Structure 1
């Protein structure tokens, strides 16, 4: 649902603040009709012969590289703890998106089963302690940044021990952006409560219905907190992005990444108030910075709904369909807005108590 911008002189030139704001706001939301749906489903990779051990990275990458083309066209990517993610292309509606992702998941599961590996689509790894197996410089830098800013445990758990179902929906017509982005956030606590299926971590009950959402809530909220739902969501996203701390500085000539161990706003790197990497940032740096921001609803031209636990069959298709209908169907959206308004900010209650919370249960 997105396009990769070509490398141009404009993208390699140093930014000023006004250009940076315009760059982020201009790409935040793309006008058009609603309807298309893209789904992404993560799952923990498990060695069926040794479920308490993490699968070594070379074994994972060897298997993924040998996969055949998937019938639904999904991309297969890997998270730093070895989680496997299927990202299906946009489909005309939720039913088609579910069918495509389900077909691809069946092919992937069969290929993994041939090597005695299985997929566990739940919000948090219920057995293994968080541990990074990917050697990628990006993830090593992320881990160092989280440790430096005081959320090492949550940062490692997020990267290596969580899994989500992501629902990607069109931004819709410009005139409805504020209401649509606001509703996507307002639905969050109720849908977190409905989707919560991660009560275990490290082999023990956590006391939370969605330990995955708890982990995200324990992270730096300047990077992971919700947008405020104002009248100009594209402009608000630009302000959010430029105020968020820089996590890492990429090596423009290679694949390296240097962690930033202080809280440096991207805006301060732009203005020169806090120089990083002995240079000023470019549009390419800004685009990369956006990939290190994880609000529960992230504007990427379309809307990434990021707050749902990964769930097994038949629950993930139901969650995808419900989320889509509540945002894309005008009648359902109106009813959902009225029903969920009293619990709009109850993120922590939803994560802890799930549908045991009376107010959230009444609105589910």
Structure 2
């Protein structure tokens, strides 16, 4: 989840809200790639989650990364809750999921090199401590009570609220991990087309990257339990954004939706002020109960935009949010897949032709089918395997047109389409055969 936003004075005009998104527009030759992934730390001797404090802990890992590799601390009160270096950030999800938010890169080779360097640095510090990390969409065995709680004010507020508005919110916060890519847009029209394609094809990403078939120590009936969790979280701020497919959609329509999403907090002087359920529209009028008489800043607006969680999210770029985390090859495959579709106009136009006939019910049904059955899912006569094959083919063509050899990063997706088996299918097969219905081997199998 996002760190507090910065920059921007008091909001004086309503059009500044959409203006923040518009300021993200870039020339087509300046479009960049930003990849984020979350992973679970675990103790080798006990296979329990990595705690925040202690000799073998997130805090010790932070200390080592600062001392040896030049990362700088991000603090909340007396606690280090993240690191930053050269445009990249390391942050913590509520249950201690260790997240790299990479710098904006020019191509997939730079992105892959950044990931490799990060994993090597983390291993250099964690390995001697007897700590390892796994790339998987949901913690396969740990219960909610076993998860550590990170010392972040934002998460304390969210934990309470999630328990009141949905059925799976705290599971999402503490026991899931994702990989996503952030991609730029050149104009409002470019944002609209990219967001529509992104939303319509998120079920394909969910299917191809599904890696969470276990939860609470047993199979859960889904290939992506992480995706299932998002369907039971908070309907006011999640989902497939059907209004994005309406004819007049643009920056302002997205702003109007975000304004109607209840607030979580306001960040002031290093502290999170409880604004749960309150309205940003009231904030614009100086009538927010949490801060009566005070007007919001652009930073407040940017913070509020991070508290909506649709399958694809717009800020000053578009975030693709539908995939489970996986192994290193899959972490690289996710940005490659979307890069090929989004940054080549021919591929983007063809991708839109592929999905423009879907109605809202079909898009939602595909979302459900992907979480349950991955590539074997089907909705309204559309087979996810066929749709995924077409999308990966378009992505490969888009990457090939860039002329940089980036299509090699699609290899794990092409292997899944060849075999019909995604990561979750392989785990279930192994669980029923050589793992002999034990989840102990999954820690090694998903080790990063």
Cα deviations by residue, 1:101-156 (Å, 9 ceiling, x for unpaired): 22222221232112111111111111112334212221111111112x332x5221
Give the direction of change, closer, same or farther, for the CA distance of 1:92–1:145 in structure 2 (3 Å limit).
Answer: same
**Paired residues of 2:5 and 2:303 also in contact (CA < 8 A):** no
**Quick check: 1:344 aligned with 2:363?**
yes
Q: Distance in 2 between matches of 1:123 and 1:216?
A: 12
Moved more, 211-220 or 283-292: 283-292
1:23 is aligned, of 8, 12, 16, to: 16
Match of 2:63 in 1: 65
> Comparing 266-275 with 289-298, which one deviates more in the overlay?
266-275
> How many pairs align?
350
Q: What displacement does 1:295 show?
A: 1.8
Distance 1:57 1:281, change over 3 A: farther
User: Is 2:52–2:148's contact at 8 Å kept on the other side of the alignment?
Assistant: no
Give the root-mean-square deviation of aligned CA atoms.
2.6
- TM-superposed CA distance for 1:212, in Å, is 0.9
Shift of 1:273: 6.7
Larger of the two Rg values belongs to structure? 2
Of 65, 86, 90, the match for 2:104: 90
Q: What is the aligned counterpart of 1:143 among 151, 156, 159?
A: 159
Query: So what's the TM-score if we normalise by structure 2?
Result: 0.72
Q: Is the 8 A contact 2:141 2:215 kept in 1?
A: yes
Contact 1:145 1:248 in 2 (8 A): no
1:1-364 equivalence runs, <5 A: 5-6=6-7, 10-11=9-10, 19=13, 21-29=14-22, 30-34=24-28, 35-58=31-54, 59-67=57-65, 68-69=68-69, 73=86, 74-130=88-144, 131-147=147-163, 149-151=164-166, 153-227=167-241, 228-229=243-244, 230=246, 231-250=248-267, 252-258=268-274, 260=276, 263-271=277-285, 275-283=289-297, 284-341=299-356, 342=358, 344-345=363-364, 346-358=366-378, 359-364=383-388
Check conservation: 2:50, 2:96, Cα contact below 8 A: yes
How far did 1:269 drift? 4.0
1:40-76 deviation per Cα after TM superposition (whole angstroms, max 9, x unaligned): 1110111111113452445212211320337995422
Change (3 A) 1:4 1:242: closer
* Structure 2: segments with no counterpart, 5+ residues: 72-84, 389-448
Residue segments in structure 1 that go unaligned for 5+ positions in a row: none
Higher relative contact order (CA 8 A, sep 6+): 1
User: How far, CA to CA, are the matches of 1:340 and 1:60 in structure 2?
Assistant: 43
Shift of 1:278: 3.6
Q: Does the aligned pair in 2 maintain the 1:187–1:337 contact within 8 Å?
A: no
